[in-house]
Amino acid sequence: LIVKADSGESLSQFIKRVNISYVSYYRKKHGGIGHFFQERYKSFVIQDDRYMLACGKYIELNPVAAGLTKNPGEYEWSSYKYYIKGTNDKLLDASPEYERLSNRTQSSMKMYEAFVNDGVIERRKEERFFKDGFYGSKKYEEDLTGSGLRSKWSHTGKPRKK
């Protein structure tokens, strides 16, 4: 999920509303008690269009990488079908980065499909991106770190085997 927020507080409130609404819906339908999601959401600062599109590509290809589907268009909850076929989706607003690919809808669809399906995700320090909390050029990352941005990463993963 990529959400653009005006402030950290508005993002936090949005995620809180989504969480409460979904848990309420799920519990009414399936029963149960307690928290639904295991951990807090994670948010990252993304530099610009190029990096935003790369994050979108990463999300589109996650079901493929996880072995859930053979291609991103097969995953029910993906925005991929919206972007390459124009399939209507009431939950989705088109990404401004996608809309800037071309002035012609068909061209944008073909460009996005080629971009996602080339199979290459910039894996450059991907693990670090998820721990540092920002994604962009080296200079951008240095500027953010220099201005005081610090990660609040708390997940340490599985304990090491002894």
| Nearest alpha carbon to residue 16 among 41, 39, 34 | 41
Query: Where does 31-104 have alpha helices with state H?
Result: 49-65, 80-85, 96-99
Q: Give tens-digit pLDDT for 32-61.
A: 887 777 777 777 777 777 778 888 888 888
Q: Give tens-digit pLDDT for 68-82.
A: 999 899 999 889 999
135 φ/ψ angles, rounded to the nearest 5 degrees: -140, 120
